[in-house]
Amino acid sequence: MLGLMQDEQLLISSLIEFAARNHADAQIVSRRVEGDLHCYTYHDAAVRARRVAAALDRLGLGFSDRVGTLAWNGYRHCELYFGIAGSGRVVHTINPRLPPEQIAWIANHAEDRVLCFDMTFLPIVKAIWSKCVTVRHWIALCEANAVPADTGIAGLRSYEEWITAESGGYAWPRFEERSAAALCYTSGTTGHPKGVLYSHRSTVLHAWGSALPDTLGLSARDCVLPVVPMFHVNAWGIPYASAMTGAKLVLPGAALDGKSVYELIESESVTLAAGVPTVWLGLLNHMAQHGRRFSTLQRTVIGGSACPPAMISTFKDTYGVTVLHAWGMTETSPLGSACTLKLKQTRLPPEEQMAVLVKQGRAMFGVEMKIVDAGGEELAWDGKTSGDLHVKGPWITKSYFKGEGGDPLVDGWFPTGDVATIDADGFMQITDRSKDVIKSGGEWISSIDIENIAMAHPAVAMAACIGVPHPKWDERPVLVVVKKPGAEVAREELLAHYHGQVANWQIPDDVIFVESIPLGATGKMQKGKLREQFKHHPLPV
Amino acid sequence: MLGLMQDEQLLISSLIEFAARNHADAQIVSRRVEGDLHCYTYHDAAVRARRVAAALDRLGLGFSDRVGTLAWNGYRHCELYFGIAGSGRVVHTINPRLPPEQIAWIANHAEDRVLCFDMTFLPIVKAIWSKCVTVRHWIALCEANAVPADTGIAGLRSYEEWITAESGGYAWPRFEERSAAALCYTSGTTGHPKGVLYSHRSTVLHAWGSALPDTLGLSARDCVLPVVPMFHVNAWGIPYASAMTGAKLVLPGAALDGKSVYELIESESVTLAAGVPTVWLGLLNHMAQHGRRFSTLQRTVIGGSACPPAMISTFKDTYGVTVLHAWGMTETSPLGSACTLKLKQTRLPPEEQMAVLVKQGRAMFGVEMKIVDAGGEELAWDGKTSGDLHVKGPWITKSYFKGEGGDPLVDGWFPTGDVATIDADGFMQITDRSKDVIKSGGEWISSIDIENIAMAHPAVAMAACIGVPHPKWDERPVLVVVKKPGAEVAREELLAHYHGQVANWQIPDDVIFVESIPLGATGKMQKGKLREQFKHHPLPV
């Protein structure tokens, strides 16, 4: 027997309409690529999202057709999120930091019909447009008069010209909530990128889960700054969760340097900012160099990579900002866990609280977690035993677009590729990516642990620990370090820094100082490249 | 094209399993009808809920069979919530304050197979058991040795004896999330009670919505006391939302007087308490009489009836407790709106904030609201125009059990029977029940407005404003008042109290002092009874 509740489908169009109706004058502020600030409301955003939907109808796009974006965080990108998905098409966010040939490969694989791009990315579009065989319409996210006449790109027009004639009174279609809504490709270590296809249902459920007090804790009293890009797992779903809660939304555009982010936080009275550790590193460096303070910022959400404990302390002790450590990946929409204290832990002394807060946190309802050994057997939640992290839930991937990569699930669970511990209170801590673990003499060394200790040294700006082949031990850890500008530290001093912090056999065999560490398109250190570069590095005897 | 997210169904069993896994040692504390405090954990609750499920299997109950409960808020009732629904049956909570013959009618209409009751209600069960023709098993919520031998009730056994032999390792079945999970009857003004049938989907979605920062704001750092009964719209869904968030849960049993509630709040360090205004009246009277203070209480959620502004002020100004005004009904699961400030309102002076906080608040995402005139036309959100409140969403009723009452929806919207205004910020304020509005000379007078003014008088304990038939004006307002113990106030003084607060023609024509005002089974004033009693009350000329 079925219950007798209304059969309302969970649709992304409901999110923007809810915001337009209940938070009509709440603001969306965007730093444009031109450098100026653009400010309007959820009401305005809804009207223009409806125009996008009507414009897609006029182009004759079918249900579930893909519309690509190459864009920074900004109001037009937001309108595309809601207008494309709300009208039944699929918004396909493409990471502009990928090599152009990979962008073209992705657009072709997704069979994008339309591609919308910020003018910053015109050079990319010029390079790839003729190779994107399915794209019929190229939309430049600017005013009509800002599109150069001589690009040679067939089907190019401006966004403003494209939507202006359309009706803001468009009525959103109703359809099955499991319909595809958004597509995001993730680069594996091998093979082509694979597409993760979110549904309306998964997006709305994830927004509820992410707005909870123990996740992002979003309310109509918040002002949220997603520094994490909208081309990177939908900026962790923040545009959706903000519409759901009526939070003011601040979109930083292309200006992700410390100074720009700091000024935006101050000028817009941001309460919550979200990003990856490398962005916060830039912000903290700017703050320290110029003696700045925050006036409104309460919380920063840090995810994408493990956050160095030193960064959590600096935010808290120096600036009074609570770091919310979170974990997720493209395949998990992305939020899987967040690290907030439980009632009993609020009574612990600060150092014991810190031991909790450095973890990636507890699963939110909607995500089930387990750790398993090589044979797939579930391991204990003792905070010590580490194993492969598997997850399950209504916003977790079951397979990739077009079936690429086969069936990724193991007994119905998605294997994340992360290695983690889970303690008795459910707090999960990533100890490594399974491919980054260093196997030395039959034991595992966590590259993240070794990096965190290096990051706590005042002269170290960035550190990667990689395994280098060793005839006797299989692999031995080597530390690759970028020094802070003007700072000096010797190899011996850094290695001495490890004594007493890890077992002696876990101390790196060598330190390699470099000018920079290669970062991937999502800002993560590319340790695979370092391993390749230093695979013949001579190890001390 | 469908998205490629996992097809996890939203099931109530997932809530208790989530809590057992991620909040194993979080507490559930219950005041038992015996008077003592019982304390255990979500882990324990999950084990015993699984035993309930296994015991229902052993009784041979089919999918969607109904299991009735006549019980206070307590741990065994909680186990029944999860065990009955989780195993695919329907938990049918019955209000024990209803007349016994109505309880029997409801149990028969629902076709309950099993009926579980607190020993407090043994007299009711003795009176009705032979009339409940579908009930095969009567389960007394107590130890085996506490069941009297001579009740004569066929099929009577104790809960503890019933579940003890079962396995705590029961595996929950998976099924369609729209399956029926819980049934709650609501008494209309006319005809028989009608059953509202919740689904697993509606219950889980409502839990997400209700735990958001702008609704109850529930986290693993909260300790929640639902004084609102579990037989009254599932205690506003708090048992589900607590399991979802890992909040400590405190269940007050039968002791709902001010002293007992106060002592429980203090002894268990409650942070959030939820109930109807009459309960808080008792609590505040106890606090005032004994000069008590709260040590941990931060928020009270008040719903069920409009909360007198004087009560909001007293909580805030005298005790530093934030009142969260909420609105809902059995047909809305029940939470439809909650009153929390928006960012821009946090900068208002206190008196302007109070003008917002006396409203029933903003719709949470998942609930759409509108007000309509007699012709069904939508009315403006100007905070002044009042109309019939209609709602829509995935946790709103579409029809009643067995089709009783026909199709209640109007153009897909549920008409609440409340009359309300909505302002430009989306804040809804109930001005009356449509049946309680006083129609005087072609104009409407809000009975709630008149009552709130009376309640602000220091001598008034309770006040009801009713329309009394009038030859010239159709109806005229009359105030029915219960004075505070030992307080005195004259008719003329009370009426004078209205001058300048409402238009002269809205001032009641008379005051009737009574010993008590009849309350319904859910604690609301039965103004229909008062109207009947005083329909010939002579009005002054």
Question: Residue B248: which H helix or E strand, with range?
Answer: strand B248-251
Closest Cβ–Cβ partner in A212, A246, A340 for B211: A212
A360 in reach of chain B (CB within 8 A): no
| Sequence letter at residue A339 | C
**What is the separation of C-alpha B515 from the centre of its chain, rounded to a whole number of angstroms?**
26
pLDDT tier at B471 (50, 70, 90 boundaries)?
confident
* pLDDT over threshold 80, residue A305: no
* Interval A66-95 mean pLDDT: 98
Closest by Cα among A283, A237, A267, A334 to A27: A267
> Which residues in chain B (41-70) have CB-CB distances under 8 A to chain A?
63-64
Rounded Cα distance, B95 and B184, in Å: 9
Q: What is the pLDDT of residues B435-459, one digit of tens each?
A: 888 988 878 888 988 998 999 899 9
* pLDDT over threshold 60, residue B95: yes
B411 in reach of chain A (CB within 8 A): no
Q: What is the pLDDT of residues B287-337, one digit of tens each?
A: 999 999 999 999 999 987 778 888 999 999 999 999 999 999 999 999 999
Closest Cβ–Cβ partner in A1, A180, A208 for B3: A180
* pLDDT over threshold 70, residue B188: no
What pLDDT is attached to residue A197? 98
- Cβ atoms within 10 A of the Cβ of B538, count? 8
What pLDDT is attached to residue A64? 98
Closest Cβ–Cβ partner in A3, A4, A397 for B5: A397
A-chain residues near B10 (CB < 8 A): 205, 394
A314 is catalytic: no
Highest mean pLDDT among A198-207, A459-468, A496-505: A198-207
B450 in reach of chain A (CB within 8 A): no
Q: What is the pLDDT of residues A422-469, one digit of tens each?
A: 999 999 999 888 888 898 887 888 898 899 899 989 999 999 999 999
Contacts of B508 (CB under 8 A, 6+ apart): B450, B465, B476, B477, B478, B479, B495, B498
B290 in reach of chain A (CB within 8 A): no
Three-class SS of B413-449: EEEEEEEEEECCCCEEEEEEECCCCEEECCEEECHHH
Do the chains contact at A2 and B368, CB–CB below 8 Å? no
pTM score, two decimals?
A: 0.92
Rounded Cα distance, A243 and A53, in Å: 18
- Cβ atoms within 10 A of the Cβ of A38, count? 15
Closest Cβ–Cβ partner in B2, B244, B398 for A180: B2
Rounded Cα distance, B174 and A418, in Å: 28
pLDDT tier at B474 (50, 70, 90 boundaries)?
confident
What pLDDT is attached to residue A239? 98
Size of interface A-B (CB pairs under 8 A): 241
Considering the four listed CATH numbers 3.40.50.12780, 3.30.230.10, 3.40.50.2000, 3.40.50.280, the one that applies to the domain covering A8-255 is 3.40.50.12780
What value of ipTM does the predicted structure carry?
Answer: 0.91
What pLDDT is attached to residue A109? 98
**What is the separation of C-alpha A59 from the centre of its chain, rounded to a whole number of angstroms?**
31
* Interval B8-18 mean pLDDT: 98
What pLDDT is attached to residue A306? 76
* Interval A281-298 mean pLDDT: 96
* Interval B240-254 mean pLDDT: 98
* pLDDT over threshold 70, residue B224: yes
Give the residue extent of every domain in chain B: 8-255, 435-533
Stronger pLDDT, A327 or B190, i.e. the higher one: A327
- At residue A41's C-alpha, the angle toward residues A39 and A47, to 5°, is 115
Contact call for residues A42 and A243 (beta carbons, < 8 A)? yes
- Going by the DSSP 8-state scheme, the letter that residue A504 receives in this structure is G
Mutation site, A6, A272, A391, interface B, largest B CB count within 10 A: A6
* pLDDT over threshold 80, residue A329: yes
Do the chains contact at A23 and B90, CB–CB below 8 Å? no
What pLDDT is attached to residue A137? 98
The percentage of chain A sitting over the pLDDT mark of 70, rounded to a whole number, equals 99
Q: Given this chain, do its domains A8-255 and A435-533 carry the same CATH topology?
A: no
pLDDT tier at A353 (50, 70, 90 boundaries)?
very high
Rounded Cα distance, A207 and A218, in Å: 10
Cα–Cα distances in angstroms (integers) from residue B109 to residues B63, B102, B186, B393, B531, in the given order: 18, 10, 13, 27, 30
Beta bridge partners of A28: A40, A249
Cα–Cα distances in angstroms (integers) from residue A173 to residues A189, A205, A416, B84, in the given order: 39, 20, 35, 38
Q: What is the pLDDT of residues B362-407, one digit of tens each?
A: 999 999 999 999 899 999 999 999 999 999 999 999 999 999 989 9
Rounded Cα distance, B268 and B283, in Å: 16
What pLDDT is attached to residue B483? 94
> Which residues in chain B (477-536) have CB-CB distances under 8 A to chain A?
none
A329 in reach of chain B (CB within 8 A): no
Closest by Cα among B315, B333, B332 to B324: B315
Q: Point out the catalytic residue in the list B186, B392, B524, B529.
A: B186
What pLDDT is attached to residue B397? 98
Cα–Cα distances in angstroms (integers) from residue B37 to residues A143, A381, B74, B81, in the given order: 68, 31, 10, 20
The percentage of chain B sitting over the pLDDT mark of 70, rounded to a whole number, equals 99
Lowest mean pLDDT among B140-149, B260-269, B321-330, B434-443: B434-443
* pLDDT over threshold 90, residue A308: no
A143 is catalytic: no
Q: Read off the tokens for A238.
A: 């923040």
A245 in reach of chain B (CB within 8 A): yes
The percentage of chain B sitting over the pLDDT mark of 90, rounded to a whole number, equals 85
Contact call for residues A506 and A477 (beta carbons, < 8 A)? yes
Considering the four listed CATH numbers 3.40.50.2000, 3.40.710.10, 3.30.300.30, 3.20.20.30, the one that applies to the domain covering A435-533 is 3.30.300.30
pLDDT tier at A541 (50, 70, 90 boundaries)?
low
* pLDDT over threshold 90, residue A187: no
A233 in reach of chain B (CB within 8 A): no
Q: What is the pLDDT of residues B503-541, one digit of tens each?
A: 888 999 999 999 999 988 767 889 999 999 999 999 876
Q: Which chain B residue has its CA at the smallest distance from A247's CA?
A: B343
A426 in reach of chain B (CB within 8 A): yes
What pLDDT is attached to residue B308? 84
Q: What is the pLDDT of residues A139-186, one digit of tens each?
A: 999 999 999 988 999 989 999 999 999 999 999 999 999 999 999 999
Closest Cβ–Cβ partner in B5, B208, B221 for A342: B221
What pLDDT is attached to residue B199? 98
Q: Which chain A residue has its CA at the smallest distance from B413's CA?
A: A6
